[in-house]
């Protein structure tokens, strides 16, 4: 069999390479062989959240998979035909649900199939977008590129036990190239959810953040919710949306420092899309017929890695140009016979 070999240690060398590689493999029907998976991590190899994504894709694409084990640093993934599915899954830990959805949603939607999924795990955990970011920022961006899904949060799940749950519906979608330019709106939405923490403590921190946003001439709409979870925790999302831009920033509450771990200046200074969203748009943009353009303040290792892996599998072209405010990225997608 003709496998496309991918070095899993390239760039940031984390789970992003696995997620992007298996996503595009399913859509394009290209068998892949990923080596050196997370070799530079303290705990190398596949982790539970990676396995959950791989095993769900195995089910929905009738794939053959070799090396799908915790700690495995090598994976062969041979996709088959994708089918409509109704699934119930459990990560079994506080592994990120949002990162798993980054894999599933494009595969199902771009392949013109349907998915109904109930999944348990972590909804708001470190090194991952929050479930609110997925619901309000990623969903808006995906809708503009043509990808359609609905998400319902039924329970929050924080580290260490997780226990969160969401319901997901993904619909057949026709993708298209898009262009983002400078933010025009000064309206911002702030959503905060907390569990087993004093309201006054959370409210005081939110007030500090709102003052900084107000001082920067933003108008802030605030929503604070006490949502019961197994473990204590809090997460916050700030986002602004207009016809030209989608910019979000999320953060978890650090109970030791009693601070939301957020670089607010990044949100204030951003002007087209945020750095995390830039990374998430690469895969669908690579499969569109046409050029997708956006600007961002910085080029993250995740974005560089995603551009590398995606172009290697799809042969899409991309360019990065320095501009006054940061960088402009142009991705010229392919016309693949597997993508209708």
Domain ranges of the chain: 1-80, 187-269, 272-340
* Fold observed for domain 1-80: Translation Initiation Factor IF3 (3.30.110)
Within the chain, which residues score under 50 in pLDDT? 337, 340
Pair of tokens at residue 245: 């831009």
Confirm if 50 and 15 have CB atoms less than 8 A apart: yes
302 is catalytic: yes
Largest CA distance in the chain: 61
- Res 336: pLDDT: 54
Q: Beta 164-171 vs 4-7: how paired, if at all? A: unpaired
| pLDDT score recorded for residue 9 | 81
CB 133 within 8 A of CB 237: yes
Q: Which residues contact 38 (CB under 8 A, 6 or more apart)?
A: 8, 9, 13, 14, 15, 44, 45, 46, 47, 73
Provide the token pair at 256. 């030791």
Check if CATH label 3.40.50.300 holds for domain 187-269: no
1-80 and 187-269 share one CATH topology? no
Residue 337 is predicted with a pLDDT of 41
Rounded to whole angstroms, how far apart are CA atoms 217 and 211?
10
Note the pLDDT tens digit of each residue in 12-62: 777 888 999 999 999 999 999 999 998 878 888 998 878 989 999 999 999
Reported as a single tens digit per residue, the pLDDT across 323-332 is 988 999 999 9
For residue 147, the model assigns a pLDDT of 98
- DSSP state letters, 274-326: -HHHHHHHHHHHHTSSSEEEEEES---HHHHHHHHHHHHHH--EEEEEEETTE
Pairing verdict, β 75-78 and 115-121: unpaired
What confidence score (pLDDT) does residue 228 get? 95
Q: Are strands 164-171 and 115-121 parallel, antiparallel or unpaired?
A: antiparallel
Q: Dihedrals φ, ψ of 318, to 5°?
A: -145, 155
d(CA 291, CA 314): 14
Query: Which is catalytic among the residues 10, 33, 50, 302?
Result: 302
* Residue 274, both tokens: 């945020």
How many angstroms separate the CA atoms of 142 and 201, rounded? Answer: 35
Stated pTM of the model:
0.95
């Amino acid at each position: 069999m003709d496998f496309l070999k991918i070095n899993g240690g390239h760039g940031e060398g984390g789970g992003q390479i696995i997620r992007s590689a298996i996503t595009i493999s399913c859509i394009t029907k290209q068998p892949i062989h990923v080596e050196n998976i997370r070799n530079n991590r303290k705990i190398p190899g596949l982790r539970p959240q990676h396995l959950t994504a791989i095993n769900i894709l195995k089910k929905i694409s009738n794939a053959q998979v070799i090396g799908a084990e915790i700690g495995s640093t090598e994976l062969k993934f041979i996709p088959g035909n994708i089918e409509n599915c109704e699934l119930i899954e459990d990560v079994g830990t506080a592994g990120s649900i949002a990162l798993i959805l980054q894999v599933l949603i494009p595969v199902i939607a771009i392949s013109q199939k349907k998915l109904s999924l109930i999944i348990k795990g972590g909804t708001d955990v470190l090194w991952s977008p929050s479930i609110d970011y997925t619901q309000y920022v990623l969903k808006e961006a995906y809708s503009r590129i043509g990808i359609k899904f609905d998400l319902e949060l039924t329970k929050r799940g924080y580290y260490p036990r997780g226990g969160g749950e969401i319901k997901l519906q993904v619909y057949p979608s026709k993708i298209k190239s898009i262009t983002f330019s400078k933010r025009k709106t000064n309206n911002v939405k702030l959503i905060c959810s907390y569990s087993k923490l004093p309201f006054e403590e959370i409210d005081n921190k939110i007030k500090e953040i709102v003052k900084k946003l107000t001082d920067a001439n933003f108008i802030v709409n605030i929503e604070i919710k006490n949502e019961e979870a197994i473990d204590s925790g809090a997460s916050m999302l700030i986002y602004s949306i207009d016809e030209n831009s989608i910019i979000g920033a999320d953060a978890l509450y650090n109970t030791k420092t009693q601070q939301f771990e957020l670089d607010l200046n990044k949100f204030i200074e951003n002007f087209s899309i945020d750095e995390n969203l830039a990374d998430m748009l690469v895969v669908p943009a690579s499969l569109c017929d046409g050029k997708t353009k956006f600007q961002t303040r910085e080029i993250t290792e995740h974005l560089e890695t995603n551009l590398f892996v995606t172009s290697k599998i799809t042969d899409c072209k991309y360019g990065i140009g320095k501009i006054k405010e940061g960088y402009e990225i142009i991705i010229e997608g392919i016309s693949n016979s597997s993508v209708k």
